[in-house]
Structure 1
Amino acid sequence: MKTYAYGFPRLGKQREFKKLIEGYWNGKVTEEELRQGIRNLDETRKSTYTRHVSSYPQGEMTLYDHMLDTALLYGVYRAETLEDYFRLCRGKEALEMTKWFNTNYHYLVPDFEGKKPEFSIQTPVWDRHEGIEENAYLIAPFTFLKLSKGLKREYFGDALKELTALTISYIREKGFKSVHLDDPALVMELTDEEWNWVKEAYAQFSDLNMPVNLFTYYDSVDRLSLLFELPFAGIGVDLVHDRGENLKQLGSIRTNKVLFAGVVDGRNVWRNNVLKTAELVKKLSEKFNVVVTNAAPLFHLPVSLEGATLPSELLEKVAFAEEKLKEINLIAKAVSGDESEGREWISGIDLSFGLNEKVKERVGALSSEDFERKVPYQERKKLQQEVLRLPLFPTTTIGSFPQTEEVRRVRLLYRKGNLDADSYEIFIKGEIAKAIEIQEELGLDVFVHGEFERTDMVEFFAEKLEGIATTGNGWVISYGTRCYRPPIIYGDVERKEPMTVKEIAFAQSLTDKPVKGMLTGPVTIIAWSFVREDIPTKEVAYQIALAIKDEIKDYEDAGIKIVQIDEPAIREKAPIKKRYWNEYFDWAIKSFRLCCSSAKPETQIHTHMCYSEFGEIMDYIVEMDFDVISIEASRSKGDIIEAFEKVNFDRQIGLGVWDIHSPYVPSVEEMREIVERALKVIPKENFWINPDCGLKTRRWEEVIPALKNLVNLAKELRNE
């Protein structure tokens, strides 16, 4: 039986991708060293594929983002040098960024700005298809256009037809012998008109006398039979996250085309029961020419278990990207009658561990009152202003301050046991004191402690909570070169003791200005972790919410008057198909409300969200019952405010006026442009001014002048 895999992480086992590109940005790596280093890294990826599967796509490697690469290939943007390329990724000219479907991967959003598209093949500054013949990787025309911005509906059908024709010309020009087309947007809820556009445009692939394979993933395809009618050699489908819908449709499809059966989970780390999966593949093989593959790109997983610092009982229950390749191979072997390795692989996957009856009982005892704050917002607002006495246009930051090389060095010493706890605490307190002093000098109105003790907004809490394990070297790319280490939620979650109170209370003791207590919300902890699948996600969310609820009580006892519960992932976690939204948002909203249901009315509850399409979920957001929300607006130039025009939004809001993912320092005038757009909709009494995200990745040399401009803008607006 043939095997195939795609989307293997580009990061490298030691984050070589990050080091090469950031080294180039910092002038420590030459262009030739960068290009050769990326080629070497790609060769390592290919050799990993080759060890385990029959075939794989060629040309998956990017210097930052596949959607940007596609936009450049088709002439939507021009980049003649690497400097031109990276200016579109970071800096004043950076494209808007948003989440890739319902994952924590971010992509750069091509923007047609309402104009009729004009496409032409351009020679890319990074030619990832150089010398490639087999399985050339391309983002399909429909997904590229569907995930772009500013393409008017009246242009979509013709644009799709034109771009498909151009793609076919490119395939011929490059001399490819076979092609891998990634088309995950086909799992979205599409209209009849959109399906007709796809059918008409993709009919052109019949002109190619070579195999083109189309891959869908993340969910089911509502009209799967239509895809099998199109002139493709094979169709890839997700048989893991399809709720059984793809499998059901396959029952009525008759075809001699290849079925790339996505039976290995590319989004979660739990080991596949390869013998059970082999039985499914055998059944499918009675009807289809089956190739075993993964159900979603593997870049959502760490590269390899090698170097992972997991409990031994957990190691035998999980698989990262390289091990997922092994699972594909083991399934194929089992289908062919060789079950010996597969039986050994699954010997330790029993999940009867990590359970906590006390936690389950606490969740089971929750009533409707546990999801409600006792005092309505308008009354809370008055009480909070009496306590906080904030000026018009209050200024604040989102949470973190620069994690300098010294901060990272000392924290690593502590984590490796080379620095004692008392010395580490003294160092962290020193950094907090510096941050408070800087905020005093800048004149900010609401302070943060800087989060110098935190490696990551989810990993930090994972280390403090029972039932969650951290992964050591388990890095995953979030966007560009930015990576994080998703924890593994392996059991029932419980807080044994306060997690963050000591640092926040110390910061508050240094100033009369209010210092925000900083917490990560339940949905984001779940979204940015690998979650155990045999415990309902709703129940896990409530368990985490109860831990946060207890933390807020300790904040209040310590005199903290503002608490921020970050939920940047609330949109990304939503199902791709909107028909499942109500079920998801019901527990997602309740988990947030559970966190703060016992908070005093005078305790101001903030939340933060970033880089998502918020317009679609505004009705759900207003149900969360926060007091203040901070939200990204810099890359979208304030366009996000349109979403607030369509709902009765009566809460306070801070629109991010500074894109912190770029080293560029915006002027007062550039920040003002965003604010003035927003003030047409949001009353000035409800308006905060802040960056669009935390500042941990920036340098103080960028942070201080940008915050000075931010504070000066607030002062100007107050005077006016």
Structure 2
Amino acid sequence: MVKSAVLGYPRIGVGRAMKKVIENYWNGKATAEELQEVAKNVRKERWQTIQKAGVDIIPSGDFTLYDHLLDHSFNFGVIPERYVSQGMSLRTPTSPWAVVVRSRRRVSTSLPRRWASCEWLILFLSLDPTLADEISFDSNYHIVKVDHEPKTAFKLNNNQWLSEYEEAKALGIETRPVLFGPITYLSLVRKSRDSPAEFEPLELLDSLIPIYKEVLESLKKAGAQEVQIDEPILVLDKAEAYGDLFKKVYEALSPSIEFLKDLPIHALHLDLDREPKQLDEVLAALKPTKAGIELGVVSGRNIWKNDLKASKALAEKAVAELGADRVVVSTSSSLLHTPISLKVETKLTEQQKSWLSFAEEKCEEVAALAAALNGQESSLFEQNTKDIAARREFERTSDSAVRDRVAGITEEQLARKAPFPERRAAQKKHLNLPKFPTTTIGSFPQTKEIRLARSKFGKGEISQEEYEKAMEAEIRHACEFQEKVGLDLFVHGEPERNDMVQYFGEQLNGFIFTQLGWVQSYGSRYVRPPIVVSDVSRPSPMTVRWSAYAQSQTSKPMKGMLTGPVTILNWSFPRADVSKEIQSKQLALALRDEVVDLANAGIKAIQVDEPAIREGLPLRKADWDNYLRWAVDSFRLSTSGVENDIQVHSHFCYSDFGDIFPSIQRLDADVISIEASKADLKLLDVFKSYGYSNEIGPGVYDIHSPRVPGEQEIKDRIASMVKVLPADLLVVNPDCGLKTRGWKETEESLANLVAAARWARETYA
């Protein structure tokens, strides 16, 4: 019999139950016991939903309140040496993550006395709040990297996998525990800053393997029939050098479980959604063995209904080669990256719903495929065939004018009218900015008053005129503050924006939106990605009204703020019927029109942010050049329709530029800003080595905590920057936008930033 499996499931809970209870706990409105009770109920709900859908193999051990990589570090008893020296000790608390999540919102430069006897995690995260925001592979999910060093020792501090397996078993549900594989785990963790240059965390593998064996033995004793060990590092080019390591690890682990008698692995999972062509080669390799195969035919990364007939045909090939008992049909990845259920969406049309499949529906698709392969094809197949055909017809007749415009893009549209030195001279004349000009990345605090006005407007409780008056008042306040603090290049603060992608998607043709389609980015940070359903175009200006109003409030130059085409695409659910390149260029043309309109409205500096350009890199380097070509072309297409005196900015978050720097140069932005402080200014060495010659704003302080940086701290950072980059190219700005910060800390931080910039003008005159 062919079985069905799901590799993982969303852990946010229906109605964002986990976000609400975690944030209530932070605010003192929920107890640790209440937090753990909600978490237990969400786990139960997940398991029962998958079971009800008819899936045979249900995952456990993949739940977390914050981040599953951090969970592994805690479970393995890892404390970086530098924290041990500050008196931390490792104990197994009753509710470990209750203290972790609270610590994220209470960061201080000194250790509060009341925490002196708390568990190590609250201390660890309070002292080093910048461990999050590392992109996991090519997703928008962020992982928390804990430092490892040569002295790092492992012990089984908390057997989460056993406890969740037994918890599900008590509910009458047999599950398959899920662990990060040891090679992937050590490849993802962070190397301690105090470690020798030659040290790599993978050197700790021999001391980690016994911990995995201990976990596997405990699961075997508890009755587990299978264990899922995730090694996604295998998809990267670097995995080719790890062949001996994998052999060593899985030969060491295989005696620990009865079902691994003849091979180091029981079954191999393939992502056939992204790479269906690999099936024949893998089947040929597995046929002489006793290993089984899991076919990832239902996408865990998109929200489109599966073509069941096509997936069934693919699976039948595997059944013919290996036999039904060696084949499992599965999701291509964990369903962590998809919304929970389509059933709660009441505002989507029936036609739109017929295109889509969220986590719950994907479980039903997996189960239906297995049943069909076992000779029990359901009526779901007939309706699925009709829905797929209708969707294809809708796509085919979408908007030919947009596609014609993309086909007509010329090389001239991808370049500014003059090289940077000539543009810079024109911009200096119009902007009249001093040396070490000060600015911010774009957003100012989104206060409860802003959110309340947006909510009332959305519910129809206030008119559009009343809402716009409220937003104008917020913009006036932002301008008055910037005048008072002394910034040089202003922003309007973006009070009218709910999200940097959703805001634009709502004003573009070709997008639809869910009500409750939330996806976890990290911790309690959830996003509701727009869905691209057809060709994209801009029916009318999107931001000009607000930027022009802001400019009318001040004589200082105002930056117009846009999200770039690659970021909009990467942070949405894209179409599956046309390439990402085509979709990106459609977005770029829409933004090009917006940039031109902003310039015509008197906005002389325009920022087109591309924080997601790095995360969109394909997993294999062989595919990088093509992606970077069209990604850079999309940015240039967006920004090259204006005259030389318009200063084009772009911002990049959490990016390691070393591998893609030539592409960053080819963007040809007049000014780029980056998260440099969060990375301890390490990124600047890359800019120096490549001889970057346009203006650059390396962030002078990290905005990811409420800590206010001192004036001297910012002076020191500027001094470090001047040692690496020419002083006349430096712009002084924070690491990122200030949307999540409060006004008090924002005012104090920016006052220190302005004072430090004035010092720099005198010091480096």
SS, match of residue 360 in structure 1? helix
Offset of residue 623 of structure 1:
0.6
Pairing 1:71–2:110 present: no
SS, match of residue 689 in structure 1? coil
Offset of residue 96 of structure 1:
4.9
- The Cα offsets for residues 82-128 of structure 1, whole Å up to 9 and x where unpaired, read as 1453565576443153111011111112333xx4252222524x946
Pairing 1:46–2:89 present: no
Following superposition of structure 1 onto structure 2, how do residues 194-593 of structure 1 map, counting pairs within 5 Å? 194-211=242-259, 231-242=264-275, 244-254=277-287, 255-288=289-322, 289-308=326-345, 309-337=347-375, 338-349=377-388, 350-353=391-394, 355-593=398-636
Alignment-mate amino acid for residue 187 of structure 2? K
SS, match of residue 181 in structure 1? strand
What is the alpha-carbon distance in structure 2 between the residues aligned to residue 173 and residue 492 of structure 1? Answer: 53
What is the alpha-carbon distance in structure 1 between the residues aligned to residue 216 and residue 285 of structure 2? Answer: 33
| CA distance 1:209–1:369, change in 2 (3 Å) | same
Pairing partner for 2:214 from 164, 169, 178: 169
Offset of residue 664 of structure 1:
2.7
What is the alpha-carbon distance in structure 2 between the residues aligned to residue 581 and residue 626 of structure 1? Answer: 21
**8 Å contact kept, 1:161–1:202:** no
SS, match of residue 561 in structure 2? strand
TM-score, with length taken from structure 2: 0.88
Offset of residue 416 of structure 1:
2.2
Instruction: Quote the residue 2:666 is aligned against.
Output: 623
Offset of residue 650 of structure 1:
0.8
SS, match of residue 232 in structure 1? coil
- The Cα offsets for residues 316-370 of structure 1, whole Å up to 9 and x where unpaired, read as 0111111111111111122122242222234222322251111111111111111
What is the alpha-carbon distance in structure 2 between the residues aligned to residue 246 and residue 678 of structure 1? Answer: 50
Alignment-mate amino acid for residue 337 of structure 2? H
| CA distance 1:192–1:552, change in 2 (3 Å) | closer
**8 Å contact kept, 2:162–2:215:** no
**8 Å contact kept, 1:633–1:674:** no
What is the alpha-carbon distance in structure 2 between the residues aligned to residue 516 and residue 35 of structure 1? Answer: 45
| CA distance 1:172–1:528, change in 2 (3 Å) | same
Alignment-mate amino acid for residue 138 of structure 1? L
**8 Å contact kept, 2:678–2:735:** no
| CA distance 1:157–1:660, change in 2 (3 Å) | closer
Offset of residue 246 of structure 1:
4.7
Instruction: Quote the residue 2:179 is aligned against.
Output: 138
What is the alpha-carbon distance in structure 1 between the residues aligned to residue 516 and residue 241 of structure 2? Answer: 46
What is the alpha-carbon distance in structure 2 between the residues aligned to residue 627 and residue 647 of structure 1? Answer: 17
What is the alpha-carbon distance in structure 1 between the residues aligned to residue 756 and residue 132 of structure 2? Answer: 23
- The Cα offsets for residues 552-594 of structure 1, whole Å up to 9 and x where unpaired, read as 1111111001100011110111101111101111100100000
SS, match of residue 260 in structure 1? strand
What is the alpha-carbon distance in structure 2 between the residues aligned to residue 11 and residue 486 of structure 1? Answer: 15
**8 Å contact kept, 2:732–2:753:** yes
SS, match of residue 563 in structure 1? strand
- The runs of 5 or more residues in structure 1 that have no matched partner are 213-227
Following superposition of structure 1 onto structure 2, how do residues 26-175 of structure 1 map, counting pairs within 5 Å? 26-52=27-53, 53-77=55-79, 80=91, 82=99, 83=103, 84-85=120-121, 88=124, 92-112=128-148, 115-121=149-155, 123-124=157-158, 127=160, 129-130=162-163, 132-133=165-166, 134-150=175-191, 155=200, 158-173=203-218, 175=221
SS, match of residue 719 in structure 1? helix
- The Cα offsets for residues 631-688 of structure 1, whole Å up to 9 and x where unpaired, read as 1123322222232233121111112233323233333344444433333211111112
What is the alpha-carbon distance in structure 2 between the residues aligned to residue 320 and residue 261 of structure 1? Answer: 19
SS, match of residue 292 in structure 1? strand
SS, match of residue 504 in structure 1? helix
- The Cα offsets for residues 233-281 of structure 1, whole Å up to 9 and x where unpaired, read as 1221111112623553333432322212111001111100112211211
Identity %: 39
- The runs of 5 or more residues in structure 2 that have no matched partner are 80-88, 104-119, 167-174
**8 Å contact kept, 1:271–1:317:** yes
Offset of residue 689 of structure 1:
2.0
**8 Å contact kept, 1:396–1:447:** yes
Offset of residue 699 of structure 1:
1.9
Structure 1 range deviating more: 233-242 or 243-252: 243-252
Instruction: Quote the residue 2:107 is aligned against.
Output: none
What is the alpha-carbon distance in structure 2 between the residues aligned to residue 202 and residue 57 of structure 1? Answer: 21
**8 Å contact kept, 1:263–1:294:** yes
Instruction: Quote the residue 1:665 is aligned against.
Output: 708
SS, match of residue 276 in structure 1? helix
| CA distance 1:306–1:679, change in 2 (3 Å) | farther
What is the alpha-carbon distance in structure 2 between the residues aligned to residue 31 and residue 321 of structure 1? Answer: 29
Instruction: Quote the residue 2:4 is aligned against.
Output: 3
TM-score, with length taken from structure 1: 0.93
**8 Å contact kept, 1:92–1:664:** no
Offset of residue 373 of structure 1:
0.9
Structure 1 range deviating more: 102-111 or 495-504: 102-111
**8 Å contact kept, 2:614–2:655:** yes
Alignment-mate amino acid for residue 118 of structure 1? T
| CA distance 1:546–1:331, change in 2 (3 Å) | same
